Copies of this chain bind each other. A is one copy, B any other.
Amino acid sequence: MRENAANPAAEPIRVTVWGENVHEQKHQAVRDIYPNGMHNCIADGLREAGSDVFDVRTATLQEPEHGLTKNVLEKTDVLIWWGHAAHKEVADEIVNRVQARVLEGMGLIVLHSGHFSKIFKRLMGTPCSLCWREAGEKERVWVCNPGHPIAQGIDRFFEIANEEMYGEPFAIPAPDEQIFISWFEGGEVFRSGCTWKRGNGKIFYFRPGHEVYPTYHDENVKRVLKNAARWARPEGSRWIDSCPNIPVEKAPEHIAAKGGSVH
């Protein structure tokens, strides 16, 4: 993290948008909506904020190390994750690496079907299961905390005309903050915007974004992602994970005099 990371204005927030990039290659219907891939559409949405706010790159499953090399992650303040069909193809080594960076302080925004990604399940410790239906129904995303940075510029709710339904129960640990809850035309509800902190990393799960709908072209969705990327930026210094032995000789004299353990 840079010296001035506490001052988000000084330098742009470095965002990496990770896309699984599978549906776009296989389905013409998805390609029609996202001709450059979903990851590029998401990245372009962030870029609308200006290059002084975000410095955005993309990475995909198919690149070496899925595009998430040590060097890339070192230079990433916030990672956005979209995956669906190929969660199992993500190498455990890369998952370990991303988890470690989150704990150090990198923000993580998990989108839609990313609820079942290895990295999200790893950080939650729970199955992250839910119920679902694909019927292109209307979703109303309600704001639970109108003053939260992630909800800035959003009215009481916004609607997405056609989306996949996700319904409760959502098998997650209790969120630190509930930002959005969705109402679905078919009768279900879902905790669509949730935050947690793990180590120093801020995590935001955001529900919308099924691949056959133009969700990431939606103005409200783009705004939420911009807000969330700003919110999730590192604020402190890195937490370097370690388990140090504190030498006896540094302990007060009456302790040191006892000497070490027999073990």
Q: Which residues of A contact B (CB under 8 A)?
A: 6-10, 23, 27, 29-30, 99, 103-105, 116, 122-127, 129-137, 140, 142-149, 151-152, 156, 164-165, 167-171, 173-178, 181-189, 191, 196-200, 210-212, 230-231, 235-248, 251-252, 254-256, 258-263
Contact = CB atoms under 8 A, between A and B. Distances in A.
Given A149-B6, A149-B235, A126 B144 contact: no
A165 B242 contact: no
A259 B8 contact: no
7 contacts: A9-B10, A132-B245, A135-B260, A144-B191, A169-B239, A177-B197, A211-B263
Contacts of A260: 134-135
A135 B262 contact: no
A196 to B, nearest CB: 8
Copies in the complex: 4
A206 B18 CA distance: 39
A200 B167 contact: no
A114 to B, nearest CB: 14
A199 B241 contact: no
A167 B252 CA distance: 15
Contact of A104 (B123, B147, B149, B151): B147
Contacts of A122: 125
Most buried by B among A29, A152, A165, A199: A199
Given A135-B261, A169-B143, A125 B124 contact: yes
B261 A127 contact: no
Contacts of A196: 173
A231 to B, nearest CB: 7
A1 to B, nearest CB: 8
A261 B134 contact: yes
A245 B131 contact: yes
A105 B243 contact: no
A169 B246 CA distance: 13
Given A132-B243, A134-B263, 7 more contacts: A7-B8, A144-B168, A152-B237, A174-B177, A178-B191, A183-B183, A186-B255
B152 A6 contact: yes
Contacts of A263: 23, 27, 29-30, 134, 210-212
